[in-house]
Structure 1
Amino acid sequence: MNAPRRHPLAKAVSLSLLVCLPLAAIPSLAAAQDPDSDPSATTLDAVQVTGTRIKKAEIESQTPVQTLTRDDIERTGLTSIGDILQELTGSGSALNTKFNSSGNFGFSPNGDGVGAGSAQVDLRNLGAKRVLVLVDGMRWVNESSASGVGATTDLNTIPLALVERIDVLEDGASSLYGSDAIAGVVNIITRRNFEGGQITLNYGQYGEGDGDNTGVDLAWGMNTERSNLFLGASYVEQDEILANTREQSRFPVPGTGLTFGSSGTPRGRFIFTDPNTGVTHDITPNEGDSDPLYDPTQTGCDRTDGYHCFATADRFNFAEYNMLLTPSTRSGVFGQYRFYFNDNVHAYAKALVNRRESVNQAAPEPLFLGLDAGTGNAFADGMFVSADNPYNPFGFDLASIDDPATPENEANLILIGRRPVEGGPRVFEQVVDTQYFGAGLEGSFEAGERTWFWDVNLALGRNEAEQTNYGSYDIRNIALALGDPAACAAVAGCVPLNVFGGPGTLTPEMLAWIQPVVHDRSEQKLSQFTANVSGDLFDLWAGPLSAAAGIEHRKYEGSYNPDPLTVAGFYNGVPSLPTSGEYDVNEAYVELNVPLITEGAFGKSLDLSLAGRYSDYSTFGGQFTPKYGLRWQVVDELLLRATYAEGFRAPSIGELYGSASRADLQIDDPCLVGVDGSPPTGDPANCAALGVPPGATQTNSQISVTTGGNDQLQPETANSFTAGVVFSPTFGANASWSERLDLELTYYRHSIEGAVQAIDAQTQLDLCVATLDPLYCGGITRTAVGSINAFSNRLTNLGSIKTAGWDADVFWTLPETSAGQFKLSWQNTFVTGYEAIGAAGQVQPRTVGIEVTDSAIPEWTSTAALDWNRGNWSAAWVIRHISELTEDCGDAASFPVCSDGAIVGNDDDGNPIWAGTNTLEAVNYHDLQLGYEFQWLKGLQLTGGVNNVFDKDPPLCLSCSLNGYDASTYDIPGGRYFYMRANLRF
């Protein structure tokens, strides 16, 4: 069959670029012009260059674009676009399936929700919401979240099977693409001209015999004289890996045992004041004693009544219930059809349906009741336990609020911490459905002797998610079951509740009354229309003035609807309220490429690129963003380029309208004795002024922080600068030692003003204690015993974020010999600076070389790949490097596991007190792959590989909130990963 007919010159250039773009099947930035090529600009038809709207061959190398070809993708052995992009040296910390992101970690401190089970991409460490994701040049719909209306794209909604290549523009591009393109653009190019069929089978497993990954991809396409059709289907199933299967992740903070475990235990922790004696107790039942008999005369810790004083050994290890790798199943179908009416006009239509089913798991949900519960829930914090409750062993009422009717009945309940393991772990099941439809017309026309290209496009995207939560509790029903038995008896289904016995004392009838099934739903929609035109306007002294112009309309709609139980305030877990909103934007842009000089004393060519876009938002008004670029071809082998761009990011629906929700974060309260017994670090006078009694203890290492949207937010504004050189020396071309050699160096700098973010919660608390400034303390309240019971940490437009660094890359193709052909790519990113400043001048803790809040900015990341081909054989060896990091040990400084710590004294028991930082040592991962192609049908390619050949574990992270790993920086769960792939073409 013949491919659709096109303009002969355009077709020839398209084919040549399709060969050159992959750069010998290794990821590359756009290289300098081939010395043998015609220096005149050439129009394109089949290839759309990411980073410009002008279809010119020379424009391709104006901006730093990294291209991942199909070969690059398959060499990773990975089955998720997100996982692949997170291995790029320029990528930062982003959510992936290694985050067990539900439960306490399921709500974002940015107020826009956490898409549990999703995979995102961050460029230049500026955050995933500042990266624009395109599919064939059109925006992709944002994710639906389990906890709000997200501001980022879930790459797990795009099947890997439909991808032809991925272009990554690591430069500001708001003038060309609009909002969100501050840090860069990811443009996923789908497969189009495909002939015949293909079946790909994937299987992988970790060296421990778990984490199985199974997948099958189907592809089929046909071309006729006037049309082409591509159909694809994909299925991927990822099994879970539990935290208790790895030594490093079996405890909340590795190397500290149960010190950072929970006060919510299966036997229960009871802190109360006996109204008869005035003695305050902190006790728990002895192990195996489900019916202790409280003796009020025993006021010390040497007891014989079935209780003992609560100690570290009694804490609950919640970590072993977590997951290191969350299970998911992704299935999708995709189709694309193009019909060529003639040589100048064709129509297309494309559609996708994708479903992701994923699961997160957390430990059995604890019940924290009383004055020190700190949940912000009126039922939990104001709990009343009747003396008449048949299971109350103390013989008197337990109340966390004074009874004004009887002044003698003062509040005496400080904390009940009971974890009903009888109800099983919390299991969060997500079902995410994505639908996409796009259609349009594309064509060309002649104006004088010039060819112009045009296109009009319509795209509709929808993302729906439902999360079902098993294992949580109805706190209102708990309060009713613990209170007056007569009131409980008057309500159908209510039975008195036993939170005082050990594990196994909660009966099925009790669980049926207090344990509901919770359903949360969310949805996002994106409707967009674009029209573009591109061509040469007229000739200048150095060549034609090329231009592109277009208009765009987009409408965003989003909603989040938590379970009615949650809305009513009866949910014992993380509270949240409904969110909904919409906005639209109209835009127009112009891009020009102005040739300034032709070949002469100042080099071969010098081109100036200009672009500007005006955006009119229904939420805040208009915004104009320009971009300027220079491309100087000094000689055939040397290219210099530079760009300066202004950009912006409009606040998302969740950031604008998101209701208050809670994130339970690992925070050290400087006014309280640490959970490990370490002394307070805050100023004693200031702590007293904040209402903290001397000697008050932080009972839990997690503090509930309330986040939410702010409809007064303004857009983030940014400027980006890049400057680079591409050197392809002639002495490295067609030589005995080199077939081709490309050296590339790029400097980048990004600056964001008014960044939408909440101040780091730990920083806010530290500044509150240090300054007593209402700016920091206004949203923080404490109970009578000193613990925090409300912590408001709302979104605002922060002061600034600035980052800078270098990319340095080498691409070397060696001559083919009897031993085969070798190709080397070595890509490096060096981050020379990162600084975030709050609106009031607060320096945020995140910076280069520091691990903080489950993310890191390594100073140097590097990937070196050596490919080999000989006949039917192929092989690849990849080395990935992540430089050393440092973290503050926090309360873990009390342990020798804080490797850089020093002994600064001894505690009351004579144990050493440590202080300092922990070093996360540099890591090198080695990946190997070997393949052989059989000449059967159109080819059968068998490939096997091992990632992390030398069984390198990720470094110990003491400050990470889950599992002792930074899941966004390192390979989790560690150990070798073996995989095989069979790829049959027919």
Structure 2
Amino acid sequence: MRYLSLTAKAVRTSLITAATSSVVFSGLGFSAMINAAEENTKVERIEVTGSRIKQVDMETVSPVTVINAADIAMTGEKTVADVLNNSAINSFGSWRGISGYGSGASSTSNVNLRGLGSSATLVLLDGRRMPGTSSSSGSVADTSSIPMAIVERIEILRDGASAVYGSDAVAGVINIITKKEFEGFQLDYSTEQPSVEGGDANRLSLATGFNTDKGNITLTYEYYDTKAVMDRDIWRMDDSSYNAYSGYSSVPNGKYGPGNGSWYSNSDICEKTENTIDSGDGRCLYNHGNVTKLFGDQTRNSLLSNFSYEISENIKFRGRASASLAETETRYAGTPVSTNTPVMSADNKYNPVGEELVISMRGAQLGERDTLTETNNFDILGGFVGTIDSGNGIDWELNAQHATSTTNSFNYNLLNDNIIQQEIDSEQYDIFNTSGMSYEQWEQQMTDLYRKAAHTAGRDHTLLTVGNLFLSA
């Protein structure tokens, strides 16, 4: 199949016109002229992927930017998501999953053109909508799930196309075009080791394709693994702007008195405890930025296949199948006891000030809040494409799509605030160490307290799309 630009087509049309004129003026008979005209009007069929994105050779008010495979290779990026996120066109920035976000958002990537929100940017794969993720209730596609090895080019419509596609294309359209007639076998391996600690990435891809006179099939597998980037390695603690300290500390802080009140904390314990500093106003602050992950550890296996078969001269069957299985491990600081702030009564035998204390504390002794997110996406699309040779000709398509997206999140080292309050009221735990225990004894006591209140939370989000049948002409 040949692909012609509008300029090439215009040149060919001019040549046809010139040839027809020479026949007329040479005095040939009408029958010869009609036969020549019929031959010249037989124009071979031109296929345009993503035809709803208007493309011209000259700049218009709705320009289309094309990033081809060579441009992608020059960027050195390891995923489609990174290519789009770091593109100059994407000036408002886009989402790359970071620690601390639930519902699976920490393991996905999406595009936010023109700053109107990721749900206002439509992402297409070979001119067809990509299925949305379960974490976004189906409104946003995960651009990191597409294997880089199969991408031929990326087309970006830098203007709204809601009149054609609907409200999800208000900010623009991104059409990711995959390789269709690739033949042979290709093996790629790349590695990335940033100058900062963490963020090491490895990518292995295998691509193969087979072509016949009737059709073709391509199959691409990609393995991607990247290590975590810690906040402490990006935001240096010796920087004057560093402010990753919290009053919810592994060494409890108690507030008492009228108005703004006063603070009490055990300064000796604060001095011996890791990741804490004395604020100078009676509080012991916790350095949560020293233990959190900015980007988590991620492992992803992606598989994508394109296939087409010519049933007859005017009818073709084609489709795609894809699967993406990812695991992401993110980390936030130990859980603060903040949903129901605990209170120590004035008559509690371990109250160091004899007045009611509102306590700010954090279960760092139990460990950090680790989240394991499993994201599984499956998509299969198939249909018939054809033409009806009548008059100017009619192009038609009949497609069906089935997609599932499942996100499972497991959150570890969470705390039940009500149990913390009950244990403080029981007067079994001297959290301010008023009895003068050794540091080791106090530390073990706090660990036991948090273990009693610890629990693990799991969330399951499943989005299922069945029988998405559409006909266009």
Q: Deviation per CA, 1:889-926: give whole Å up to 9, x if none.
A: xxxxxxxxxxxxxxxxxxxxxxxxxxxxxxxxxxxxxx
Deviation at 1:193, TM superposition (A): 1.2
Structure 1 residue 182 and structure 2 residue 170: aligned? yes
Deviation at 1:476, TM superposition (A): 2.1
Which of 286, 303, 314 lines up with 1:316 in the alignment? 286
Counterpart of 1:218 in structure 2: which amino acid?
A: L
Distance 1:267 1:443, change over 3 A: same
Counterpart CA distance in 2 for 1:43 and 1:473 is 68
Counterpart CA distance in 1 for 2:104 and 2:76 is 27
Structure 1 equivalent of residue 119 of structure 2: 129
Counterpart CA distance in 2 for 1:284 and 1:425 is 22
Counterpart CA distance in 2 for 1:309 and 1:333 is 52
Distance 1:221 1:60, change over 3 A: farther
Structure 2 equivalent of residue 269 of structure 1: 253
Q: Deviation per CA, 1:470-497: give whole Å up to 9, x if none.
A: 2221112212222246xxxxxxxxxx44
Contact 1:466–1:522 under 8 Å retained in 2: yes
Which of 311, 316, 336 lines up with 1:341 in the alignment? 311
User: 3-state SS of the aligned residue for 1:250?
Assistant: coil
User: 3-state SS of the aligned residue for 1:282?
Assistant: strand
Deviation at 1:89, TM superposition (A): 2.1
Q: Which aligned pairs between 1:436-455 and structure 2 lie closer than 5 A?
A: 436-448=379-391, 450-455=392-397
Counterpart of 2:125 in structure 1: which amino acid?
A: V
Structure 2 equivalent of residue 47 of structure 1: 48
Contact 1:115–1:144 under 8 Å retained in 2: no
Structure 1 residue 530 and structure 2 residue 470: aligned? yes
Q: Which aligned pairs between 1:538-577 and structure 2 lie closer than 5 A?
A: none
Contact 1:143–1:524 under 8 Å retained in 2: yes
Deviation at 1:181, TM superposition (A): 0.5
Counterpart CA distance in 2 for 1:219 and 1:79 is 16
Deviation at 1:132, TM superposition (A): 0.6
Deviation at 1:454, TM superposition (A): 1.4
Counterpart of 2:289 in structure 1: which amino acid?
A: A
Relative to the length of structure 1, the TM-score reads 0.41
User: 3-state SS of the aligned residue for 2:140?
Assistant: coil
Structure 1 residue 37 and structure 2 residue 11: aligned? yes
Distance 1:310 1:70, change over 3 A: same
Q: Deviation per CA, 1:560-597: give whole Å up to 9, x if none.
A: xxxxxxxxxxxxxxxxxxxxxxxxxxxxxxxxxxxxxx
Contact 2:85–2:94 under 8 Å retained in 1: no
Alignment size in residue pairs: 433
Structure 1 equivalent of residue 217 of structure 2: 229
Structure 2 equivalent of residue 824 of structure 1: none
Distance 1:49 1:337, change over 3 A: closer
Counterpart of 2:12 in structure 1: which amino acid?
A: D
Counterpart CA distance in 2 for 1:85 and 1:509 is 47
User: 3-state SS of the aligned residue for 2:264?
Assistant: strand
Counterpart of 1:268 in structure 2: which amino acid?
A: P
Counterpart CA distance in 2 for 1:498 and 1:149 is 46
Counterpart of 2:49 in structure 1: which amino acid?
A: Q
Structure 2 equivalent of residue 361 of structure 1: 331
Contact 2:247–2:283 under 8 Å retained in 1: no
Q: Which aligned pairs between 1:496-507 and structure 2 lie closer than 5 A?
A: 496-501=428-433, 504-506=443-445
Structure 1 equivalent of residue 30 of structure 2: none
Structure 2 equivalent of residue 791 of structure 1: none
Structure 1 residue 255 and structure 2 residue 255: aligned? no
Deviation at 1:255, TM superposition (A): 1.0
Q: Which runs of 4+ in 1 moved over 6 A?
A: 40-43, 56-62, 387-390
Structure 2 equivalent of residue 618 of structure 1: none
Contact 2:92–2:114 under 8 Å retained in 1: no
Structure 2 equivalent of residue 100 of structure 1: 98
Counterpart CA distance in 1 for 2:252 and 2:394 is 75
Counterpart CA distance in 2 for 1:355 and 1:223 is 28
Counterpart CA distance in 2 for 1:312 and 1:166 is 57
Counterpart CA distance in 2 for 1:93 and 1:467 is 29
Counterpart CA distance in 2 for 1:264 and 1:47 is 58
User: 3-state SS of the aligned residue for 1:421?
Assistant: coil
User: 3-state SS of the aligned residue for 1:225?
Assistant: coil
Q: Deviation per CA, 1:866-902: give whole Å up to 9, x if none.
A: xxxxxxxxxxxxxxxxxxxxxxxxxxxxxxxxxxxxx
User: 3-state SS of the aligned residue for 2:71?
Assistant: helix
Structure 1 residue 153 and structure 2 residue 151: aligned? no
Q: Deviation per CA, 1:631-677: give whole Å up to 9, x if none.
A: xxxxxxxxxxxxxxxxxxxxxxxxxxxxxxxxxxxxxxxxxxxxxxx
Structure 1 residue 421 and structure 2 residue 364: aligned? yes
Structure 1 residue 476 and structure 2 residue 408: aligned? no
Contact 1:249–1:320 under 8 Å retained in 2: no
Distance 1:349 1:59, change over 3 A: farther
Counterpart CA distance in 1 for 2:59 and 2:316 is 24
Structure 1 residue 76 and structure 2 residue 60: aligned? no
Q: Which aligned pairs between 1:951-966 and structure 2 lie closer than 5 A?
A: none
Which of 158, 161, 174 lines up with 1:173 in the alignment? 161
Structure 1 equivalent of residue 352 of structure 2: 394
Counterpart CA distance in 2 for 1:289 and 1:312 is 11
Which of 498, 514, 525 lines up with 2:453 in the alignment? 514
Counterpart CA distance in 1 for 2:61 and 2:167 is 21
Structure 1 residue 284 and structure 2 residue 272: aligned? no
Distance 1:61 1:221, change over 3 A: farther
Counterpart CA distance in 2 for 1:512 and 1:264 is 18
User: 3-state SS of the aligned residue for 2:89?
Assistant: coil
Counterpart CA distance in 2 for 1:150 and 1:49 is 21
- Alignment root-mean-square deviation, CA: 3.4
Counterpart of 1:33 in structure 2: which amino acid?
A: T
Contact 2:99–2:332 under 8 Å retained in 1: no
Q: Deviation per CA, 1:514-566: give whole Å up to 9, x if none.
A: 11111122233345322122xxxxxxxxxxxxxxxxxxxxxxxxxxxxxxxxx
Structure 1 equivalent of residue 299 of structure 2: 329
Distance 1:511 1:234, change over 3 A: same
Return 32-41 or 203-212, whichever deviates more: 32-41
Deviation at 1:233, TM superposition (A): 0.5
Distance 1:188 1:256, change over 3 A: closer
Contact 1:243–1:250 under 8 Å retained in 2: no
Q: Unpaired segments of 5 or more residues in structure 2?
A: 15-40, 273-277, 434-438
Q: Unpaired segments of 5 or more residues in structure 1?
A: 1-10, 18-31, 108-112, 292-307, 369-376, 399-411, 486-495, 534-986
Deviation at 1:508, TM superposition (A): 4.9
Flag the structure with higher helix content. Answer: 2
Counterpart CA distance in 2 for 1:290 and 1:459 is 61
Structure 1 equivalent of residue 128 of structure 2: 138
Counterpart of 1:48 in structure 2: which amino acid?
A: T
Structure 1 equivalent of residue 19 of structure 2: none
Counterpart of 2:167 in structure 1: which amino acid?
A: S
Counterpart of 2:133 in structure 1: which amino acid?
A: E
Counterpart CA distance in 2 for 1:418 and 1:131 is 42
Q: Deviation per CA, 1:752-778: give whole Å up to 9, x if none.
A: xxxxxxxxxxxxxxxxxxxxxxxxxxx
Structure 1 equivalent of residue 31 of structure 2: none
Counterpart CA distance in 1 for 2:46 and 2:470 is 18
Q: Deviation per CA, 1:431-460: give whole Å up to 9, x if none.
A: 111010111001122114x33321111112
Q: Which aligned pairs between 1:430-441 and structure 2 lie closer than 5 A?
A: 430-441=373-384
Contact 2:348–2:425 under 8 Å retained in 1: yes
Q: Which aligned pairs between 1:542-691 and structure 2 lie closer than 5 A?
A: none
Contact 2:50–2:175 under 8 Å retained in 1: no
Which of 454, 459, 462 lines up with 2:404 in the alignment? 462
User: 3-state SS of the aligned residue for 1:516?
Assistant: strand
Deviation at 1:153, TM superposition (A): 2.0
Counterpart CA distance in 2 for 1:464 and 1:195 is 33
Structure 1 equivalent of residue 192 of structure 2: 204
